[in-house]
Chain A
Amino acid sequence: DTGVSQDPRHKITKRGQNVTFRCDPISEHNRLYWYRQTLGQGPEFLTYFQNEAQLEKSRLLSDRFSAERPKGSFSTLEIQRTEQGDSAMYLCASSLVGSRAFFGQGTRLTVV
Chain B
Amino acid sequence: EDQVTQSPEALRLQEGESSSLNCSYTVSGLRGLFWYRQDPGKGPEFLFTLYSAGEEKEKERLKATLTKKESFLHITAPKPEDSATYLCAVEPDYKLSFGAGTTVTVRA
Contacts and interface: CB of A to CB of B under 8 A. Distances in A.
A91 B43 contact: yes
B24 to A, nearest CB: 14
A102 B46 contact: yes
Contacts of A41: 100-101
Nearest to A40: B100
A43 B95 contact: no
Contact of B44 (A40, A43, A44, A48): A43
A105 B38 CA distance: 10
A33 interface: yes
Interface residues of A, number: 23
A76 B89 CA distance: 25
Given A56-B95, A100-B34, A106 B42 contact: yes
A85 interface: no
B101 to A, nearest CB: 6
A94 to B, nearest CB: 12
A101 B89 CA distance: 11
Interface string A15-46: 00000000000000001010100001111110
A44 B69 CA distance: 21
22 contacts: A4-B43, A33-B95, A35-B96, A41-B101, A42-B87, A42-B89, A42-B99, A42-B101, A43-B44, A43-B87, A45-B96, A45-B97, A48-B95, A56-B95, A91-B43, A91-B44, A93-B43, A100-B46, A101-B46, A103-B45, A105-B42, A106-B41
Nearest to A97: B94
